[in-house]
A = this chain, B = another copy of it.
Amino acid sequence: MRMGRPREFDAETALDQAMEVFWRHGYEGATIAQLTEAMGINPPSLYACFGNKEGLLKAALDRYTKLRGAWMDEVVAARTARDVAERMLMGIADKQTDPANPPGCLLVQGGIACGTGSENVPFELAARRAQNEDQLRDRFVRAKAEGDLKSTSDPAALARYVSAVAVGMGVMASSGADREALRQVADVAVQAVEAQSTEVPAAS
């Protein structure tokens, strides 16, 4: 079979640039002109490779969640539910204020509400956030089985809670909250998980 002219740009590198634009401006706020300029390609190359704007977003989300997934694996590897929550929320405080990236979280910045014709973008983002929540819930189910969480605790509710705090921190980060402020939020938030735990680490 004939192979045709080879692509002159690296898809993953280009995706990283597109991800940053979506992250900073949201799905609707990002224009094809901004995206192509950041990616260093022309519109036809973008459409040949990713289909359309929404396809590009999904590809960027795939890449984002792939990187994020590896980190979440480390998070749930913590010893106790409390440590999982702390590792996650403290990590988020750091990541969302990392100057190497736009502030906040792409899964929130991408678009909470969208206009007619883009209704499933918020849906898509919510689905990815739900994946994280599921992973947390599974971990908390295990924690309860191990007796690490009280028998009266609800792992699903706890996971939803930690997710909600994470999202809230993302919004605060995108509106200028600094790392220390987010860490304080994380610190308080962890105390709710501690309240559901059996082994309370002898607090000073």
Chain copies in the assembly? 2
**Chain A 170-204 interface mask (CB, 8 Å, partner B; 1/0):** 01101111000100110111111011100000000
Decide: A118 near B192, CB < 8 A? Known: A112-B112, A157-B187: no
Is the beta-carbon distance between B111 and A26 smaller than 8 angstroms?
yes
A144 in the interface (beta carbon within 8 A): no
Q: How far is the CB of A34 from chain B (nearest CB, A)?
A: 8
Contacts of A187 in B (CB 8 A): 157
Query: In the complex, what distance in Å separates the CA atom of A160 from the CA atom of B157?
Result: 21
Is the beta-carbon distance between A114 and B29 smaller than 8 angstroms?
yes
Interface hub of A24, A177, A187, A188 (most chain B Cβ within 10 A): A188
Kindly list the 9 A-B residue pairs having the minimum CB-CB distance in the complex, ordered from nearest: A29-B115, A164-B168, A168-B168, A126-B175, A26-B113, A157-B184, A192-B192, A161-B188, A167-B168
